[in-house]
Structure 1
Amino acid sequence: MRGRRLSTVEDIIAITSPGEESDVAVDRLRTWTEENGLRLKTVDVGTSIDDVYAGEMETLGITIGGDGTFLEGIKQFAPRNVPLLGINTGTLAFLVRVAVDDLEAALTEVVQGRSTIDNRQQLAVEANGVEATGINDVMVQHVPPDDPVDRKITKLDVFADSQYVGEYDGTGLAVATPTGSTGISLSANGPIHRPTNNSSLEIVPLHTHQIGVRPVIVSEDTTIRVVCSEDADMLVDGGRHHVRLETDDVVTITGAQSTADIVRTSYDDDFFTAVSELLGWGARGSEAKSLPRTVAADDDEPEDMIERAHSLAKEAARSVGDPLRELHGRVEAEEFKTDKADIVTEADYLSENIITTAIENEYPAHNIRSEEHVSVESGSTYTWLIDPLDGTGNYANGNPNYAVSIALLEEDVPVMGVVYAPETDELWTAIEGQGAYKDDNRITTTDRTELDESMLISGYDPDGSFLTHFYNETRGVRRLGAAALHLCYLANGSTDAVWEYDTHPWDVAAGVVIAKEAGATLTDTSGDPFEIYTEKDRQELVGSNGHIHGDIIDRLQHSEQLRNTIDN
Structure 2
Amino acid sequence: MIENILQLARETAILAAKAAGKIAKERFGTTMTIDEKGLYGDLVTEVDHLAENVIIHEIRRHFPDHQIDSEECGRDDQESDWLWLVDPLDGTNNYAIALPVFSVSISLAYQGKLVLAVVYEPMVDRLFVAEHGKGTTCNGERIQVTKKTEIRRSTIGWIQGHNVQNQEPAVHLRNHIDISCKRMLRLWAPTLLWCMVAKGDMDGIVLYRSAGADLYSGILMVQEAGGVVVDFEGIPYAGMLDEPYLIACHPEQQESFIQLVKDGLGNEGNV
Residue of 526, 535, 545 corresponding to 2:233: 526
Q: Tell me, what secondary structure is at the counterpart of 1:401?
A: coil
Rounded to whole Å, the distance in 2 between the matches of 1:446 and 1:316 is 30
Q: Tell me, what secondary structure is at the counterpart of 2:107?
A: strand
The answer to whether the Cα contact below 8 Å between 1:458 and 1:466 also exists between their aligned partners in 2 is no
Q: Which residue of 2 aligns with 1:401?
A: 101
Residue of 68, 73, 79 corresponding to 1:368: 68
What amino acid sits opposite 2:28 in the alignment? H
The answer to whether the Cα contact below 8 Å between 2:67 and 2:76 also exists between their aligned partners in 1 is yes
C-alpha displacement of 1:496? 0.3
CA separation of 1:344 and 1:470: change in aligned 2, threshold 3 A: closer
Matched, 1:499 2:199: no
CA separation of 1:532 and 1:486: change in aligned 2, threshold 3 A: farther
CA separation of 1:344 and 1:328: change in aligned 2, threshold 3 A: farther
C-alpha displacement of 1:380? 1.3
Give the share of equivalent positions with the same residue, in percent: 30
Q: Which residue of 2 aligns with 1:419?
A: 119
Query: What RMSD, in angstroms, separates the aligned Cα atoms of the two structures?
Result: 2.4
Residue of 24, 29, 52 corresponding to 1:329: 29
- Structure with bigger helix share is 2
Listed one character per residue, the Cα deviations across residues 81-119 of structure 1 (whole Å, up to 9, x for unaligned) are xxxxxxxxxxxxxxxxxxxxxxxxxxxxxxxxxxxxxxx
Listed one character per residue, the Cα deviations across residues 446-502 of structure 1 (whole Å, up to 9, x for unaligned) are 132321221111113734323321223221111111111111000001100111113
Rounded to whole Å, the distance in 2 between the matches of 1:552 and 1:541 is 10
Matched, 1:551 2:256: yes
The answer to whether the Cα contact below 8 Å between 1:341 and 1:396 also exists between their aligned partners in 2 is no
Q: Which residue of 1 aligns with 2:156?
A: 456
Rounded to whole Å, the distance in 1 between the matches of 2:175 and 2:268 is 13
The answer to whether the Cα contact below 8 Å between 2:232 and 2:269 also exists between their aligned partners in 1 is no
Q: Which residue of 1 aligns with 2:246?
A: 541
What amino acid sits opposite 1:500 in the alignment? L
Matches within 5 A, 1:7-406: 304-331=4-31, 339-341=33-35, 344-406=44-106
Number of residues paired by the alignment? 257
Listed one character per residue, the Cα deviations across residues 418-447 of structure 1 (whole Å, up to 9, x for unaligned) are 001111211100110011000111100113
Tell me which structure has the larger Cα radius of gyration: 1
The answer to whether the Cα contact below 8 Å between 2:129 and 2:221 also exists between their aligned partners in 1 is yes
Q: Which residue of 1 aligns with 2:135?
A: 435
CA separation of 1:563 and 1:317: change in aligned 2, threshold 3 A: same
The unaligned stretches of length 5 or more in structure 1 are 1-301
What amino acid sits opposite 1:351 in the alignment? A
CA separation of 1:327 and 1:386: change in aligned 2, threshold 3 A: same
Listed one character per residue, the Cα deviations across residues 369-418 of structure 1 (whole Å, up to 9, x for unaligned) are 11113422332111001111111111111111111110000111110000
Rounded to whole Å, the distance in 1 between the matches of 2:14 and 2:210 is 23
What amino acid sits opposite 2:171 in the alignment? G
C-alpha displacement of 1:545? 1.5
C-alpha displacement of 1:316? 0.5
Q: Tell me, what secondary structure is at the counterpart of 1:464?
A: helix
Could you tell me the TM-score, scaled by structure 1's length?
Answer: 0.43
What amino acid sits opposite 2:62 in the alignment? E
Residue of 216, 223, 229 corresponding to 1:516: 223
C-alpha displacement of 1:347? 0.7
C-alpha displacement of 1:564? 8.7
Rounded to whole Å, the distance in 1 between the matches of 2:78 and 2:35 is 33
CA separation of 1:457 and 1:317: change in aligned 2, threshold 3 A: same
The answer to whether the Cα contact below 8 Å between 1:427 and 1:439 also exists between their aligned partners in 2 is yes
Q: Tell me, what secondary structure is at the counterpart of 1:389?
A: strand
Q: Which residue of 2 aligns with 1:282?
A: none
Q: Which residue of 1 aligns with 2:192?
A: 485
Find runs of 4+ consecutive structure 1 residues off by over 4 angstroms.
562-565
Rounded to whole Å, the distance in 2 between the matches of 1:408 and 1:303 is 13
Q: Tell me, what secondary structure is at the counterpart of 1:550?
A: helix
Rounded to whole Å, the distance in 1 between the matches of 2:152 and 2:141 is 29
Could you tell me the TM-score, scaled by structure 2's length?
Answer: 0.87
Higher relative contact order (CA 8 A, sep 6+): 2
